Amino acid sequence: MRILFIKRGAIGDVLMTTPLVRQIKQLYPEAQLDYCVSKSCQVVLRDNIYIRSVIALDDSDFSIKGLFKFIKFVYSIKKQYDYVFILGKSWLVNLVFKVIQSKLIGFSREKISMYLLDKYVLYNDVTKYQVLYYLDLLSISGLGMANYNNVAMDLVIPDTDKKIVKDLLNSLAIKQFVVVTNSGGNNAFEHNGIRMLPQNKIMALLKHLLQTNTVILLGSGVDIDNYNQYVKTLNTTIGLINLAGKLKISQSTYLLSLAQHFYVTDCGAMHLGFIAGIDSKMTCFFGPTNPQHIVPANTKCKVIWDDADIFNEKYQLYGNIGGVGTKYFQRLEINEVV
């Protein structure tokens, strides 16, 4: 049996699909599982033992601009798979895959997808942990029942990456540190930064932490300019280390496992903290998104969400639609958090 999973991104969303992949492979050890993902997110599937091959498409192929190339790819895999799990929620992707002659399993966010998919799960509740939604796809597929207690995300951390992180910390003479990540809404598919702490809030957090801690700023390449601005504004090189764009995903995860505490917004790095097993040492800031949809139910992390009364579920359900013009985090008091 051959099964294809397809998910555009982003990093955190792809990581949350890994329990589904793992459980199907455990049910069908001889099945060949392939995963199609955007190039910017393929790194989190590296060395995943449950996946035979990763098919990485250009990020633009998942957009209207790249629709022709995407359709060409879909036609190229026609009749190659017994099942296709479409892990995004776009009815247009469901429509394109209708020609593939495989059994299509996916989400129905708009009514049209009910007719395009062979089996579907209604995606309409942002109070439900997203990993459970992916596992619902297994339960309705006919392949078997999902284990809803088996929700740990998979990410391989090679020993070589652990050594790189240890050597880096030794070279910086750092033994104890806290990590701060201020990102969210900044990736290949979204550019509004809506899930980030505003400038005055992140600066207040950093100033407070630097009084008693060595602080490492952790982020990807898209965070470099913002983090450089933080360093410039604080005008200090004592106790503040900017590692934005300098570590791989697996290296960042291992670094987090060594941290005394992790302050993070709703972004891919938050999921790395859960994988690192430091949820009891995490403070997670939420604004336009409902933490119940993002954070595991049994987590020990501290969730800060002061904007529940102005929450608009359209942002989580439909992306950039709804809630974008609202100012979030305005009631956040840093001195009460730290």
Tell whether 200 and 324 lie within a shared domain: yes
Report the alpha-carbon distance of residue 71 to residue 285 in Å, rounded. 38
Q: What is the CATH number of the domain that holds 330?
A: 3.40.50.2000
Label residue 324 by pLDDT band (50, 70, 90).
low
Report how far residue 330's alpha carbon sits from residue 338's, in angstroms, rounded to the nearest whole number: 17
> Is 179 within 8 Å of 267 (Cβ atoms)?
no
Helix (H, G, I), strand (E, B), or coil: what is residue 54?
A: strand
Per-residue pLDDT averaged across 299-316, rounded? Answer: 93
Of the candidates 226, 305, 220, the one whose C-alpha atom is nearest the C-alpha of residue 267 is 220
Mean per-residue pLDDT over the chain, rounded? 94
- The predicted model scores a pTM of 0.94
What is residue 9's predicted lDDT score, i.e. its pLDDT?
84
Taking the C-alpha atoms of residue 137 and residue 33, their distance in angstroms, rounded to an integer, is 15
Q: Is residue 271 part of a domain?
A: yes
Residue 209 lies in a domain: yes
Q: Is 102 or 127 the better-scoring residue by pLDDT?
A: 127
Give the up-direction half-sphere exposure of residue 13: CA atoms within 13 A in the CB hemisphere: 20
Q: Which of 95-109, 293-307, 313-327 has the lowest mean pLDDT?
A: 313-327
What is the Cα–Cα distance from 163 to 321, expressed in whole angstroms?
A: 43
> What's the pLDDT score for residue 191?
66
Which burial class, exposed, middle or buried, applies to 43 when counting CB atoms under 10 A from its CB (0-12, 13-18, 19+)?
A: middle
* Same domain? 303 vs 252: yes
The pLDDT tens digits for 96-111 are 999 888 899 999 999 9
Cis omega (within 30 of 0) on the bond before 10?
Answer: yes
Both 133 and 243 in one domain: the answer is no
Domain-located, residue 150: no
Q: Is the pLDDT of residue 187 over 80?
A: no
pLDDT at 322: 54
Residue 201 shares a structural domain with residue 135: no
Asked if 131 and 175 sit in the same domain, the reply is: no
pLDDT per residue as tens digits for the range 6-39: 999 889 999 999 999 999 999 999 999 999 999 9
Strand pairing report for 190-191 and 186-187: antiparallel
Give residue 115's pLDDT band: very low, low, confident or very high (50, 70, 90).
very high
Say whether both 164 and 114 belong to one domain.
no
- Residue 89 has what pLDDT? 93
Task: Tell whether 136 and 16 lie within a shared domain.
Answer: yes
Assigned token pair, 261 = 């505490």
Q: Print the domain residue range for 93.
A: 2-141
Mean pLDDT of 315-323: 74
Question: pLDDT (tens digit, 9 = 90+) per residue, 142-156?
Answer: 999 999 999 999 999
Helix (H, G, I), strand (E, B) or coil at 67: helix
pLDDT digits (tens, 9 = 90+) for 197-249: 999 999 999 999 999 999 999 999 999 999 999 999 998 768 999 999 999 99
> Among residues 250, 258, 106, which one has the least CA distance to residue 179?
258
Question: Phi/psi zone of residue 184: left (φ > 0), alpha (ψ -120 to 50 degrees), beta?
Answer: left
Residue 338 has a pLDDT of: 83
Is residue 152 situated within a structural domain? no
* Structural domain count, the chain: 2
Quick one: 56 and 125 in the same domain? yes
Highest-confidence segment of 228-242, 247-261, 323-337: 247-261
Domain boundary among 81, 113, 141: 141
Report the alpha-carbon distance of residue 305 to residue 282 in Å, rounded.
14
Per-residue confidence (pLDDT) for residue 102, from 0 to 100: 87
pLDDT of residue 321: 62
- What's the pLDDT score for residue 100? 85
Same domain, 107 and 173: no
Same domain (yes/no): 206, 329: yes
Final residue belonging to a domain, choices 85, 110, 141: 141
Residue 252, in any domain of the structure:
yes
What one-character-per-residue DSSP string does 86-154 give? E-S--HHHHHHHGGG-SEEEEEESSTTHHHH-SEEEE---TTS-HHHHHHHHHHHHTS----TT--PPP
Looking at the domain assignment, is residue 153 inside a domain? no
- Assign 337 a pLDDT band (cuts: 50, 70, 90): confident
- Within a domain: 331: yes
Kindly state the tokens that stand for 124.
């309409």
**Do 266 and 135 fall into the same domain?**
no
pLDDT at 323 over 60: no
User: Same structural domain for residues 200 and 86?
Assistant: no
Structure-token pair, residue 151: 């929700």
Tokens 């898209």, located at residue: 222
Ramachandran angles phi, psi of 73, nearest 5°: -65, -45
